[in-house]
A and B are shown apart, each in its own frame.
Chain A
Amino acid sequence: MKIIILGAGQVGGSVAQNLASEANDITVVDGNYRILQELQDRLDLRTVVGNATYPAVLMEAGADDADMIIAVTSSDEANMVACQVADTLFHTPTKIARVRAVEYLSYPQLFSAESLPIDVLISPEQLVTQYIKRLIEHPGALQVLDFAGGKVRLVGVRAYFGGPLVGHELRTLRDHMPGIHARVAAIFRRGKPIIPEGDTLIEAGDEVFFIAARKNIRAVMSELRRLDKPVKRIMLAGGGNIGKRLAQALETKYQVKIIEHNTARARQVSEELNKTIVLLGDAADEELLLEENIENTDVFCGLTNDDEANILSAMLAKRLGARMVMSLINRPAYVDLVQGSEDIDIAVSPQQATIGSLLAHIRRGDVVNVHSLRRGAAEAIEAIAHGDSASSKVVGRAVQDVPLPPGTTIGAIVRGDDVLMAHHDTVVEAEDHVILFLVDKRRIGDVERLFQVGVTFL
């Protein structure tokens, strides 16, 4: 696929990295020559220096035959104009733009084909906010991902001693919880993937990914670890866009405190929020944390735009007694570093939260949802099966007969409003949403081919 990425910032760079590794033709446009040079040294892509909204620059980047344009410059306005230019002059089929300001997002009619022709809006802040919100709703989960409009969720949990299922074979899951359907999609043991079978033993320390209907998630999690008490008190470090939005989303159900060090910003945030307590100060200030009862806090989130500050303040909070600490981390290298440590429970990577919504549009076949897992090495996708048993390799076949590439499991099938856990004899029907888990992203091409309706397939 020919893709033009506008803006080589954090999002642009990581999108480029993700897409370039999948044999796409990538061209990156940015005004900064040095950033581009660095990107070109590292990845197999072309770069163009210039203003991303100018037609001549887009032309030079090959807009006339591009399949997709992804506008992720730091300016909302530039992103919108670039999509407009691409649509009017080059008729680019798919246009994706990052728009952050709620002031635009609250008027969806702005983004129709007649006005601002943007097919997909991505708002990393919004995605990250939702991502953290889901984690707070399910304390103890490492990752919570929505499929089929939230009917099904994929949850990553670390198994601990004390969980009834730990030390037992997977097949006993059904005996433990009669009436509750769940399916373990993959297990990562010391970073290595294991394809779960009925006789796989779950060990303490395993990272278990399971798929279940939304209402059953708590029950399944309780099988894998002693369940954490529901969250009540939350402390957020950093009153930026993400901190403020998160507080807005959480303040009605939880007790939320925000620590912000900038006086003006703290004041502004306090005016916009109703029940949240806004504290002026440094998130890494031990005195302040103790004074604000950090030892009784259920969740502490480091959400400033400084990775190091987030990591250190979260570690401090953990030492001082916070039950669960999370930290927002942009740098991929830090994510790995922190994920393995004991001081920080969850590292949230904005890129990983964002990249999934882009990948869904790049996949061939009718793929509605993609979630990138484990720094992009694994992937969970939701694809719709089309056609009939003659034209599709999926429809009309039982799960065990679908020619899945190695390392791939079908986790669940959503048919209309019903959620079916995939058993080996479940038959896939047309228009089913199939949720698959790939432990190795390199197999993605094979999976895409499965879901393409073949003309020549007999």
Chain B
Amino acid sequence: MRFEPVQRILGVLLMVFSTTMLPPLLISLSIGDGTEEPFIIAFAIIFGSGALLWFPVRRIHRELRTRDGFLITAMFWVVLGLSGALPFMLARNPHMPFVDAVFESISGLTTTGATVLTGIDSLPKSILYYRQQLHFFGGMGIIVLAVAILPMLGVGGMQLYRAETPGPIKDKLTPRITETAKALWYIYLGLNVACALAYWGAGMSLFDAIGSAFATLSTGGFSVHDASFGYYHSPLINMIGVVFMVLAGTNFALHFMVWRGRSLRPYLKDPEFRFYIGVLVAAAGLTTAVLIVTNFYAGATDALDQAIFQVVSFATNTGLTTTNYYAWPRFLPVLLFFLSIMGGCAGSTAGGIKMIRILLLGKQGWREGLKLIHPQAQIPVKLGRKPVGDTVMDAVWGFFAAYVATFVIIMMLVMATGVDQVTAFSTVASCMDGLGPGLGDAAINYGHLPTLAKWFLSLAMLMGRLEIFTFLVLFSPTFWRR
């Protein structure tokens, strides 16, 4: 293992990331909310440390190996989480302590959307924008962005891309990796613009529209208001949100094919997308029915509106809220959390286990049942009409096992810090899946949790975002052997 190329790329990535301090700085300067200083200092620190890393090894050019890709990606997300916390710590308002600032920053970048802040409405505009912007860059992945704009990565770009993008099967859309990364970012950017315009047209202020679009398309969940989407009381805005959340939870490779082929057929033919929509419709239907039967809301339309928005928001791990979902009757709150564990589609900005894995696991289980009835039968697991290779199935099982194990261990650790079981379950699920809201003590926000629990949850967010293994391999001794 040689660290020079890793160090070099890490340095460059940090310098790239430092420029993301500039848009909030411009906002601060233009409206004069008095928070220029934190952004200038943060920019200088991040750029400087990036340059310090890069400078001594700038002449070392070596192709990245697969394991370098894991190391760079994991290290970068950790460093990014820490350095993204700088403005929160430096600003006079909110002036957060270290642990809270890191939690908030990682929550933003991993598009979790869990917050420790209260009184969001009173924060300076530039800080508010900065939080939303963290979502924006974390959503499609800042490493994918780097692959798109930095030609120097070369073949190594593929190693990084693989370590950051979610899903069991990682196909390139175009022959060259930079083109693939560019295509993904163009689509992502385009959807963001469309969403912001729609929100704006539906009555939000321009600032709110842009910030909410960032939170929607990245399936983040930070809002510029304490009451989240409940602040607007507008079914129209909710429906716009639902449409764009569904799009954000869809595999971006599908968007690419639709855009290139100018036809909606890829959506209709894709088995994962059909399953995803099926789950959303079924869950929304069930939730509406329960809400109506228990008379939770005054009218059926109100129940429908709230049910659809919350189901989609949880299933895509966005975590925007319109209502006090945690007070919903019967099994509904827990249903929402199980939906969030299932997650969106592979290759989307959503988190969780991912629909395709759930689908494959289900099919595998069904196959085992069939095999008991017909012991001699040859039953391949098929997706669409194509059989799925054993390597993919093994990887899916491996992921599932690692996911459950990680979940259990972190949940125990969180409970060890003195958190009750409902809160621990919901916060760990919420953080690992990139959802945001919790139940119990964390139903409103995460501010009251013990410091140690916040660290564990920050780790859960990073591991969830990078799909466990990118992080887990770093803990294995063989990874570090030369």
Contacts and interface: CB of A to CB of B under 8 A. Distances in A.
Interface of A: 2, 25-27, 33, 40-46, 62
B155 A42 contact: yes
B347 to A, nearest CB: 15
Contacts of B176: 25, 44-46
- Closest A-B pairs by Cβ, 5 of them: A25-B175, A46-B175, A46-B172, A44-B155, A26-B175
B158 interface: yes
B62 to A, nearest CB: 14
Contacts of A26: 175
Contact of B175 (A27, A33, A41, A42): A27
A46 B157 CA distance: 13
Given A25-B174, A25-B175, A41 B389 contact: no
Contacts of A45: 175-176
Contact of B157 (A2, A25, A40, A44): A44
Mostly helix, strand, loop or mixed at chain B's interface?
loop
B217 interface: no
A42 B174 CA distance: 16
Interface string B177-199: 10100000000000000000000
A62 B172 CA distance: 13
Contact of B158 (A2, A25, A44, A62): A44
Contacts of A44: 154-155, 157-158, 175-177
In this complex, the member of B174, B175, B176 whose beta carbon has the largest number of chain A beta carbons within 10 angstroms is B175
A43 B155 contact: yes
Interface of B: 66, 154-155, 157-158, 172, 174-177, 179, 389
Contacts of B157: 44
In this complex, the member of A2, A25, A43, A46 whose beta carbon has the largest number of chain B beta carbons within 10 angstroms is A46
Contacts of A25: 174-176, 179
25 contacts: A2-B175, A25-B174, A25-B175, A25-B176, A25-B179, A26-B175, A27-B175, A33-B389, A40-B158, A41-B66, A41-B158, A42-B155, A43-B155, A44-B154, A44-B155, A44-B157, A44-B158, A44-B176, A44-B177, A45-B175, A45-B176, A46-B172, A46-B174, A46-B175, A62-B175
A62 B176 CA distance: 13
A196 B13 CA distance: 43
A33 B175 CA distance: 17
Contacts of B155: 42-44
A1 to B, nearest CB: 11
Contacts of B175: 2, 25-27, 44-46, 62
A2 B175 CA distance: 9
B178 to A, nearest CB: 8
Contacts of B174: 25, 46
Nearest to A62: B175
A40 B174 CA distance: 12
Contacts of B177: 44
Contacts of B158: 40-41, 44
Contacts of B154: 44
B444 to A, nearest CB: 47
A39 to B, nearest CB: 11
Given A44-B154, A44-B176, 8 more contacts: A2-B175, A25-B175, A25-B179, A41-B66, A44-B155, A44-B158, A45-B175, A46-B176
In this complex, the member of A2, A25, A45, A62 whose beta carbon has the largest number of chain B beta carbons within 10 angstroms is A45
A387 to B, nearest CB: 32
Contacts of A2: 175
A33 B174 CA distance: 18
A69 to B, nearest CB: 14
A57 B157 CA distance: 26
Nearest to B156: A44
A40 B155 CA distance: 9
A45 B175 CA distance: 5
A45 B171 CA distance: 11
A43 B172 CA distance: 12
A257 to B, nearest CB: 45
B260 to A, nearest CB: 10
Contacts of B389: 33
A44 B179 CA distance: 11
B81 to A, nearest CB: 29
A239 to B, nearest CB: 40
A2 B157 CA distance: 20
A26 B389 CA distance: 25
Nearest to B171: A46
A440 to B, nearest CB: 16
A76 B471 CA distance: 47
In this complex, the member of B157, B176, B179 whose beta carbon has the largest number of chain A beta carbons within 10 angstroms is B176
Contacts of A62: 175
A43 B156 CA distance: 9
A18 to B, nearest CB: 14
B461 to A, nearest CB: 29
Contacts of A42: 155
Nearest to B153: A44
B68 to A, nearest CB: 12
A374 B175 CA distance: 27
A31 to B, nearest CB: 13
Contacts of A40: 158, 172
B160 to A, nearest CB: 12
In this complex, the member of B66, B154, B174 whose beta carbon has the largest number of chain A beta carbons within 10 angstroms is B174
A27 B173 CA distance: 11
Contacts of A27: 175
Nearest to B178: A44
A26 B158 CA distance: 15
B158 to A, nearest CB: 7
Contacts of B179: 25
